[in-house]
Chain A
Amino acid sequence: MIERWALVSGLRGDLETYELIQRDLKKTRGVTALFVLGDLVGPERNCDALLDRLRNPHRGDLKPDCIYGWWEEQLLAERGFRGERKADALRLSQGEDTVSALLNTVNPSHLKWLASLQFGFIELDCALIHGSSSDVGDNLTAETSPLILLDRLTRLNVNRLFTARSTKQFHLELTGGGINSQVKDLNGKREQQQEVPKRSVIGIGAGLNYTLYDIGSDKTHFLTAGSKTNPKGKGFA
């Protein structure tokens, strides 16, 4: 029997998009888990209705497992949940008005729940993180150096890293290669050879664009909620 995960991110308060995705998932065979990889909130719209729905799923909803993303990190920092840190990254990149807008989109009653969300999940041999093992804001794309991608996989010793920060949908496989090294110390010299392990980094998309992952066959399907594309049509082995 097919067993699939649905991976969603970048909803940014958009309940309508979330409902479209839930509707899609109801029609899709084998989806056993829904992971929401952060950016539940954003500055564009009031996020309370979406947060209510994520915390209290409707009957028939696939129950979401959420982690926090970059926008939650900014919100929580500004609201004093990150020690002395404030929303400096947001302030620097988008200015004071956006910081204020973000604060106004989330009712304070949601903050403790948002602060309780984890940085990521390890499921089977997969890491599910908003950014990467390095940072919630780590923006991994298909153009990121494979050396950096391999480092992010190595830090968690996982074979697959699902990331959302870039908002892009991609599946980059490390298929081979190697490196030689020589270590010289006071005891002499020794040579070492290491091969590139077969590992992957998968960008899951954002908003309407989400990803299905078949855990038995290791296939990813990049989908757009509300479109009529069959998962089979966009599957990548």
Chain B
Amino acid sequence: MHHAIISCLHANLPAVEAVLNDIDKQGIDTITCLGDLVGYGPQPNEVVELIRKRGIATCQGCWDEDIIDGLNACECSYPSQLAERRGHLAHQWTDDQLTDENKCFLASLPTSLRRDRLLFVHGSPNSQHEYLLPDMDAFAALERVETAGADILFCGHTHQPYVRELRDGSIRVRLQSAEHGNDQGEELTLPMRKIVNAGSVGEPRHGSTNATYVIHNDATDEVEIKEVAYDVARTCQAIIEAGLPKVFAWRLSHGFEFAEQAEDASHVCER
């Protein structure tokens, strides 16, 4: 059976509608959403209501968490202090716009979903804010999947779709202890695991303006990364009209993160 995984919708209604239409056209009726329904984009209520109306199983993203918890989470991932300030502006705007009912819905979302050997999270099993980047340390990546007891980990948060297969792993160790003295070494064979990042529907940062999502085949474990064109100009116009920072429209129309020179290169999170 095929099922679709979407992530990082970011209040971009035209993109969400286009992706759901694309999924519907393929006759796929199982959809899982990895969170970040809101933030940056101009239609937070519309997107939340569409996901609720469609009954799409959803886990909570970092933006969804922050809207409920009031920016308690660490946001060191901003590339600069200016970017952090823009993020806070967007947070405030989204907080003002969202209805209480939709906030309650975001608060009710679980941090992970599990279907047998498949685990669905926003960032990583450790945190909605942790980035599992495609080239991160392979052992650390495997540790995230293995410790969570999954065969395949589906995540988002990076806005860059990828499929990473981790295989043929082993670690040799030698133990010396006060109890047992010098032990012979032994070798641990590591299991094969997979990380699938769904990219972003509402704010792609993979170098194209197209929305991305993935389709997973339960029987073969094959994963297809899908790109969907949508009316980017319509969302950009709505961002400007809403009074959100114009750079949010700029980066949507370019397909990558806008990162100016850090204002303070020594910026260190104190949380």
Contacts and interface: CB of A to CB of B under 8 A. Distances in A.
Q: Do A and B come from one complex?
A: yes
Interface string B109-141: 000000000000000000000000011011111
B141 to A, nearest CB: 8
Contacts of A194: 137-139
Contacts of A168: 177-179
A119 to B, nearest CB: 13
Contact of A147 (B146, B161, B182, B225): B146
Interface stretch (B81-89, B166-174, B233-241): B166-174
Contacts, number: 131
B190 interface: yes
B142 A186 contact: no
A175 interface: yes
Contact of B169 (A178, A183, A184, A205): A178
Given A147-B142, A150-B140, A179-B166, 12 more contacts: A168-B179, A170-B175, A170-B177, A174-B172, A175-B172, A179-B138, A180-B167, A185-B161, A185-B163, A186-B161, A196-B139, A222-B177
A218 B140 CA distance: 25
A18 to B, nearest CB: 20
11 contacts: A142-B177, A147-B139, A155-B140, A168-B177, A172-B174, A173-B174, A179-B142, A179-B170, A181-B138, A186-B161, A236-B176
B264 interface: no
Given A147-B190, A175-B174, A185 B206 contact: yes
A148 B144 CA distance: 9
Nearest to A222: B178
Interface residues of A, number: 38
B208 interface: yes
Interface of A: 142, 145-148, 150-151, 154-155, 168-186, 192, 194, 196, 203, 205, 209, 220, 222, 234, 236
Contact of B171 (A150, A181, A205, A234): A150
A194 B142 CA distance: 12
A71 B183 CA distance: 32
